[in-house]
């Protein structure tokens, strides 16, 4: 089942570092940021993780939980998280269930060969469990600030309601 903006997330459950289970209902009442990235310990993914790390306190202050998602296994995630001192958890989607549900598995050309890869994408889920906004095929520079701005405006909307 595909995800649609302004609709609830379909049912899912995934394991994250820190022994945490994340599901479509595990963070209701809280803003949820899910950022999908291709691979641990690659230049772009390391930069993106460090930018989320550096703004993490601002996300928490704005009422958001942040999770990174990739196809890497838990050992790779634990090492990546420790190496970069990430304050948020990473979801190991080794079977690509979430990647397919969110539609981020794309055919890419790497070194002249067609491969299936993860398109760098971020999804913002409101406290009511509805998908509020999505960024697909994004570039790392400036992206984390854009997501934080969207989280803050979502929190402002919630207060006004």
**Structural domains of the chain, count:** 1
Residue-wise pLDDT for 79-137, tens only, equals: 999 999 999 999 999 999 999 999 999 887 777 888 888 999 999 999 999 999 999 98
CATH number of the domain encompassing residue 88: 3.40.30.10
Q: What pLDDT score was predicted for residue 112? A: 85
pLDDT in the model for residue 158:
64
Please state, in angstroms and rounded to a whole number, the distance separating the CA atoms of residues 104 and 119: 5
Domain that holds residue 69: 6-18+28-158
Catalytic residue among 45, 49, 65, 98: 45
Q: Is residue 23 part of a domain?
A: no
1 inside domain: no
Instruction: Look at residue 84 and give its three-state secondary structure.
Output: helix
Has residue 53 been placed in a domain?
yes
CA distance 3 to 97: 13
Q: pLDDT, tens digit, for every residue of 29-54?
A: 999 999 999 999 999 999 999 999 99
Whether 134 is covered by a domain: the verdict is: yes
Average pLDDT over residues 63-80: 97
What is the value of pTM for the model shown? 0.93
What is the four-CA torsion angle of 47, 50, 51, 57, rounded to 10 degrees?
170
**45 catalytic per annotation:** yes
Top-confidence residue, 33 or 2: 33
């Amino acid at each position: 089942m595909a995800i649609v903006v302004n609709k609830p997330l379909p049912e899912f459950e995934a394991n994250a570092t820190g022994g945490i289970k994340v599901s479509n209902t595990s963070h209701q009442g809280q803003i949820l940021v899910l950022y999908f990235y291709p691979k641990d310990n690659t230049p772009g993914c390391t930069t993106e993780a460090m930018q989320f790390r550096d703004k993490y306190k601002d996300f928490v202050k704005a009422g958001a939980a942040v999770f990174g998602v990739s196809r890497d296994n838990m050992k790779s995630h634990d090492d990546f998280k420790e190496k970069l001192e990430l304050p948020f958890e990473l979801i190991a989607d080794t079977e690509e269930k979430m990647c397919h549900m969110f539609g981020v598995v794309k055919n890419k050309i790497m070194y002249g060969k067609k491969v299936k890869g993860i398109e760098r994408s971020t999804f913002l889920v409101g406290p009511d469990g509805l998908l509020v906004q999505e960024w697909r095929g994004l570039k790392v520079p400036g992206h984390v600030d854009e997501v934080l701005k969207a989280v803050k405006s979502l929190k402002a909307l919630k207060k006004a309601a």
